Chain A
Amino acid sequence: GENVEQHPSTLSVQEGDSAVIKCTYSDSASNYFPWYKQELGKRPQLIIDIRSNVGEKKDQRIAVTLNKTAKHFSLHITETQPEDSAVYFCAASRVGTALIFGKGTTLSVSS
């Protein structure tokens, strides 16, 4: 079955810096890769997703890149702000399977 590894487990950055979180997956048939943000005490919320037919997707300060050959995908947050502080989860799935989540990255943005 699918296995998703996420790194780092914690990440601390200064406000205005960029943050990068990386995930690798094992199932080469996986074709859907969402990222979720979970603020303290709140529900996980989808912030961006990418499908295997594209290599990069951007939404304002957030971008996701996908390398199908290497089987890894990354979340990039530019110009970080304190409100970006949260736990971020990556996930992967293919048609016929439920999402498999990574272990999460706790991002702390200090002002």
Chain B
Amino acid sequence: ETGVTQTPRHLVMGMTNKKSLKCEQHLGHNAMYWYKQSAKKPLELMFVYNFKEQTENNSVPSRFSPECPNSSHLFLHLHTLQPEDSALYLCASSQERDMNQPQHFGDGTRLSIL
């Protein structure tokens, strides 16, 4: 299934670097999500966009900055990250945020902070 594509698949960066994660969905969905998945932890919802508008920010540190230029693309801009930010970052999409529809996930970006 290639409905939700994330790039890069792996990223190693230093704490002072700036990088961006990209997510693209080809499913015609209007809601997109960023999740953080750490070892032995649940999926932590970070941000939700519905029709390009941010509807949720779950107390995420400002060193993570999301951007949603249109309903098909979602970015996560990273700067001055900490070692504890090393995790798998998953993007997902659904038809709409409020409509109780399944979410479709990408393969994730494995992020390692040196």
User: Residues of A at under 8 Å CB distance from B?
Assistant: 31-32, 34, 36, 42-46, 49, 51, 89, 93-104
Q: Give bound CA distance, A89 to B45, whole Å.
A: 14
Instruction: Return B110 CB to nearest CB of chain A, in Å.
Output: 9
A44 in complex: contacting residue of B41, B45, B48, B90, CB < 8 Å = B90
**Taking chain A's interface residues, is the majority helix, strand, or loop, or is none over half, making it mixed?**
loop
Query: A42 to B107, Cβ gap below 8 A?
Result: yes
How near does chain B come to A101, taking the closest CB pair, in angstroms?
Answer: 4
B88 to chain A, nearest CB (A): 9
How many chain B residues touch A (Cβ–Cβ < 8 Å)?
Answer: 21
Q: In the bound complex, do residue A95 and residue B43 qualify as a contact, i.e. CB atoms below 8 Å apart?
A: no
Q: Is the CB of B98 within 8 A of A95?
A: yes
Which chain B residues border A43 with CB–CB below 8 Å? 4, 90, 105-108
Q: How far is the CA of A104 from the CA of B39 in the complex (A)?
A: 11
**How many pairs, one residue from A and one from B, have CB atoms within 8 Å of each other in the complex?**
47
- Which B residues are in CB contact (< 8 Å) with A32? 100
Interface of chain B, main secondary structure: loop
Q: Which residues of B contact A46 (CB under 8 A)?
A: 102-104
The smallest C-beta distance from A32 to any residue of chain B, in angstroms, reads 4
Asked if residues B107 and A98 are in contact (CB atoms below 8 Å), the reply is no
List the interface of chain B (C-beta within 8 A of A).
1, 4, 33, 41-43, 45, 48, 56, 90, 97-100, 102-108
How far, in angstroms, from A25 to B82 measured CA to CA in the complex? Answer: 33
Chain A residues within an 8 Å CB radius of B4: 43
Provide 8 A-B residue pairs closer than 8 Å at the C-beta atoms, listed in order of the A residue: A42-B107, A43-B105, A43-B108, A51-B100, A95-B100, A98-B56, A98-B97, A104-B43
14 further A-B pairs in the complex, CB-CB below 8 A; given A93-B100, A95-B98, A100-B45: A43-B105, A43-B106, A43-B108, A44-B43, A46-B102, A46-B104, A49-B102, A94-B100, A96-B98, A98-B97, A99-B45, A102-B42, A103-B42, A104-B43
